Structure 1
Amino acid sequence: MDTSVPSVAERRVHVVPLGYERDRIVEPLRRHGADVAYLLVDAPDRDGDRGDVDFDAAGAADPADTRVDPDGLTDYQRDAWTAVAEFAEVRPIPVALADVYDVLGVTTTVAARHRAGAEDGDRLFGNVSTGPRIAAVGVALACMIVGARPYSVEPERHRHDRRQEPLTEGVARTVDLPIYPMDAPTTDQVAVLGRLHERAEESLTTDKWNLIEWARERGLTFLREAGESRTAKYRALETHVLSPLRERGYVELEDIGRSDTVRLTEVGRRVFFAFKHKIDG
């Protein structure tokens, strides 16, 4: 989870399904200084369209004025709510946790409300560990779409030995999940990530001109229309490869002497292996 200190006006806002958990809901919020916690409370037959959020009711001072039925909660769910309220502002929202589109819509609506991702907006996080798997998918997809930070919480122990007994039994139904195009790196970008990984494995540094020469030898697309001008080649490398990779945190640049050394980040290394199939074919 991103633990960097927010600006004075920025708040840490968390979206957390109120599933059959207690510690995995409360402790991450406490440890990472949550300011606002939107608890997604299961309401399969709730009023309103998918993704609708009544922010006035969610922010009501008296829990009885919210749209959530407290009698439908377990004792430990109520305890989680009370514990979080001791250090953060709790805003409960009724959501059909088994409806991925409802969870997705509610999370993106909360993100829009807090201008998550904007320069003057709040910092948004999503807990993908505390609800049913469908809810986890909805929260994770929403975070990817709006540029928020999803996080997973590993428990210290389980209630029973999973080596001896399965977690569930039977099948009620299967649910189709939405498909959203992810902003995957281009083939050229994956190739450059691979070159940086290869050089790092050999403890060798790599500057921009090294990448240009290597890309030219292999006929990478971004250089085909750059012409013979050295300046144009640098511009093509920056525009089509390095700038997008740097914005996503996959590479870093370091000034050394008169050249820029390009370094692969740990995230960039993982992304390279995730998309390596693009250059293996």
Structure 2
Amino acid sequence: MKSIRKIIQIDEDKCDGCGLCVPSCAEGAIQVIDGKARLVAEKYCDGLGACLGECPKDALKVVDAEVDAFNEEAAKKHVRKTKEGTAAHPHGPAAGMHTAREHGPGLHMAGAEETMACGCPSTLMQSFAPQIPQTACEKANIPVARAASGLSALTHWPVQITLVPPTAPFLRGADLLVASDCTPFAYPRFHDELLRGKTLLVGCPKLDDVEEYVKKFAAIFATAGIKSVTVVVMEVPCCQGLPVIVRKGMAQAGKSVPIGVATISVRGEML
């Protein structure tokens, strides 16, 4: 039954899909779908606006609208179902994830009520500690297979330049590693020698949108307080545009940040 009450409204033009609003909603009413924050179902939103303060783009607001009544029991059931689905599919989006659609004036909905809208894991920002053994005992007890292959030095997600918003918390005051997306495959010591202690951004200067990259780096340098930049490229000619892109973004932001370039051969050697 519909009635006029308070409910969250999401401005798609302002939303950059960072996902910071998602964990602040205890009812699971918001998920990132197709790169944008979406209201999963009207009945899951209590209209209290706990998510408002988490949006760096000011894309959320509470409005009065004729919508379905808030259903606390349905919201609890939805949260349980979402958690169960995440546990069952930890490495990918949930089955049945729908494309976003609109219901009502300005109220952006996604999927049917029975659909488990877990959002897109590629755009949900996460920060986590690198897998680094701390004590002498921990280091001595690393399994041989792991010691030989090395441990992941990645501390955050996402890593694709296109998907990382300039306001991402892990960018603040970071030592940035900007890598062409072939380099981690070519260089066997990528994590230990290049990535450890740095924040990673990955992209392809040949296949991706160069101008959008320049704009993204300009925004990052303007807002994130980057300390240093290391650009890692392959020796092939098409890779050489990546340092140029980074420098252009830095210039547009009016910043001067120390920058270094490392080049990897197609045989996996540091040149």
Structure with bigger helix share is 1
Fold shared per TM-score above 0.5: no
Write 1 or 2 for the structure with the bigger share of strand. Answer: 2
Return the TM-score normalized by structure 1.
0.26
Question: Which structure's CA Rg is the greater one?
Answer: 1
TM norm structure 2: 0.26
